[in-house]
Amino acid sequence: MNTSTLLLFIPACFALNMAPGPSNLLSISNATRYGFAASCFAGVGRLIAFAAMIALSAVGLAAILETSALVFHAIKILGGAYLLFIAYKLWTASTTNEESIATASKSQIELIKQEFFIAAGNPKAILIFTAFLPQFIDPTQDVASQFTVLGALFLLLEVIALAGYALIGLHLRRWFNQPKGKRLFNRTCAVLLSGAATLLLNARRT
């Protein structure tokens, strides 16, 4: 893998990382409700899911999703249902000022699980890895090592993206520090997540 390949991969990859979606929206919501550190740490769940998808793509097991309609639809339905569940939790969330960082620390595992299941519940993600990463692989060189390098770069850029979205959420937290503002933000996120769930449930294999 040469330098010119990396110079093409990094900006294209970062554009994917920064694209608005359920995971990045969740980072904003978590930062607004629980703080910057809690939101970033919750992103560990997303990174684990993406790392697993990259590994599956590297060994060719992503073909299962490409050939099995049953598996694809099962994951799609579970992922969409989970997004709707998170949307419901946001819609009905408390807007009192009693919620604190201490509360967030008790539910950090739950936040990590949310990130993991939202990332893992989107079958399109692994198909993106299958279609995107191979474009930058040189078949004349060791494929496994190239997947490792590109996968590591993707995860590094994902860390930057989730921290950036969490930072946005941190600033929104300052703006929405009143119950009405919190309710508006939570319900806006709920509507957007519901929309993402609808798109996911209507997704078809390409």
pLDDT, tens digit, 9 for 90 and up, residues 186-206: 777 778 767 767 766 776 655
Task: Give percent above pLDDT 70 in the chain.
Answer: 71
Tell me how far apart the alpha carbons of residues 192 and 186 are, in angstroms, rounded to a whole number: 10
Q: What pLDDT is stored for residue 43 in this prediction?
A: 94
pLDDT tens by residue, 176-188: 666 676 677 677 7
Long-range CB contacts (< 8 A, 24+ apart) of 22-25? 22/83, 22/118, 22/122, 22/193, 22/196, 23/115, 23/118, 23/119, 23/162, 24/161, 24/162, 24/165, 25/165, 25/189, 25/192, 25/193, 25/196
Q: What pLDDT is stored for residue 76 in this prediction?
A: 67
pLDDT above 90 (res 101): no
Nearest alpha-carbon partner for 125 in 8, 44, 9, 21: 21
pLDDT tens by residue, 120-169: 877 667 767 776 777 777 777 877 788 888 899 999 999 999 999 999 88
Count of beta carbons in the 10 Å neighbourhood of residue 186: 22
Tell me how far apart the alpha carbons of residues 186 and 178 are, in angstroms, rounded to a whole number: 12
Domain boundaries, the chain: 3-201
pLDDT above 50 (res 100): no
